């Protein structure tokens, strides 16, 4: 088979393949639901305490490069709460997000007690953040993995420095196509 013939055959085959795929493509819509609280006072006392610990944890943020502070707090099934903050590094890929710092602290100190909720808040000295900032993809993955570990959904509360609080029923609500052990 000549090289020219082979190239024409390959291009023709790819064209037919892509044309056939176009006929079988389907669109699906993915939605999620969450609750919006307009103020901290609308939350339960327990959730208020959790959000306040997340806010207090902002003070421990090490963010000299971005100046973007993130505080997080988790509530365990036994009522214990742990707080944590983001820890930056001049080598950006080595930065640690507040959500992962906090989950790791809780899992290290109380490895057999499920996390019931995580609260996250942010602060930027250069602008007022008045809407919730969602966890990054890596943090969403860790939340989902922690849910699977304990066979327990983790409620996710997120807030800006001020403004409404969004509450998601689980990490899976934020990352519906999470990677899990079924792929391994």
Alpha helical stretches, state H, 34-169: 45-57, 98-109, 137-150
CA dist., res. 132 & res. 164, Å (int): 7
* 99 classed as catalytic: yes
H/E run at residue 115: strand 115-123
Catalytic one of 88, 99, 147, 153: 99
CA dist., res. 116 & res. 150, Å (int): 10
Which residues, in sequence order, are bridge partners of residue 81? 75
Q: b or e along 28-57 (b: 16 or more beta carbons within 10 Å of the residue's beta carbon)?
A: eeeeeeeeebeeeeebeeebbebbbbbbeb
- Residues classed as catalytic: 99
């Amino acid at each position: 088979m000549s090289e020219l013939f082979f190239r024409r055959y390959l291009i023709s085959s790819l064209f037919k393949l892509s044309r056939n795929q176009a006929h079988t493509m389907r669109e699906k819509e993915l939605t999620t639901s969450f609750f919006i609280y307009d103020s901290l006072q609308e939350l339960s006392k327990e959730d208020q305490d959790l959000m306040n610990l997340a806010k207090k944890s902002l003070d421990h943020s090490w963010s000299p490069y971005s100046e973007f502070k993130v505080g997080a707090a988790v509530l365990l099934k036994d009522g214990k709460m742990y707080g944590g903050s983001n820890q930056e590094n001049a080598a950006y890929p080595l930065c640690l997000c507040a959500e992962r710092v906090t989950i790791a602290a809780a899992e290290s100190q109380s490895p057999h007690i499920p996390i019931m909720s995580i609260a996250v808040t942010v602060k930027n000295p250069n602008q007022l953040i008045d809407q919730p900032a969602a966890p990054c993809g890596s943090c969403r993955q860790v939340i989902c993995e922690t849910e699977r570990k304990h066979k327990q959904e983790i409620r996710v509360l997120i807030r800006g420095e001020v403004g409404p609080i969004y509450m998601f029923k689980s990490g899976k609500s934020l990352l519906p196509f999470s990677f899990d052990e079924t792929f391994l």
